[in-house]
Amino acid sequence: MAIGKKQKSFKRGLPKRKINSKILIICEGKKTEPIYFRGLKDHFRLNGVNIEITGEGVNPRKIVKRAKDFHYREKKSGDSYDKVYCVFDKDRHTDYQEALNQIGAINDFEALTSVPAFEYWLLLHFEYTTRPGTSDSVISDLKKHLPKYSKGDEKIFEQVKDKLETAKERKKVTANSRRSKY
């Protein structure tokens, strides 16, 4: 080796950026919401994205707490989530607004909410409505379009996927309609 020349290192350096995003979708519902989001992931072939989907069966405040716990655990291991989505209904939850406030204060956390229930989002695949209602009334309206609907239906995404763009447009109109009233 010549004097004054540095020897090249063949040691692999640390990656400069993440290649794949890592996302957590944590749902209030144990069945319907996770099934829907798994169907959505499969439909769009998001295999290059690390998406963890879990159904917790707890209230909105506990959804946020569990999301923070998951996020902290992964961050501590050196592989934190790029985005965390907390999915929950308003229903009759008294901690709904508290959960929204907590999420709003955390970078990379976002709330995906349904008023009154997740079935409202499913209903938007078939019809536009801003009519207030209960979870039961929304399910009743949904059953006009999906007579065999039941919570936890393994084929729910397959039954609505062709109407996804319509539901997204209706959700935008609904969100704008609600903003103008308040």
Model confidence, pTM: 0.83
Give residue-wise pLDDT tens across range 22-71. 999 999 999 999 999 999 999 999 888 899 999 999 999 999 999 999 99
pLDDT for the residue 11: 58
Whether residue 116 has a cis bond before it, omega within 30° of 0 = yes
| Residue 154 clears pLDDT 90, i.e. is over it | yes
Check residue 31 and report its DSSP letter.
S
pLDDT for the residue 116: 92
- Whether the CB-CB separation of 113 and 90 falls below 8 Å is answered with yes
Q: Within the chain, what is the greatest distance between any pair of CA atoms?
A: 84
Fold topology of 22-181:
Rossmann fold (3.40.50)
Q: Find the DSSP H helices in 44-163.
A: 60-76, 96-104, 118-123, 135-142, 156-160
| Residue 133 clears pLDDT 50, i.e. is over it | yes
Give residue-wise pLDDT tens across range 72-82. 999 999 999 99
b/e map of 77-116 (b: 16 or more CB within 10 Å)? Answer: eeebbeebbbbbbbbebeebeebbebbeeeeebebebbeb
Domain regions of the chain by residue span: 22-181
Question: Over pLDDT 70: what percentage of the chain?
Answer: 86
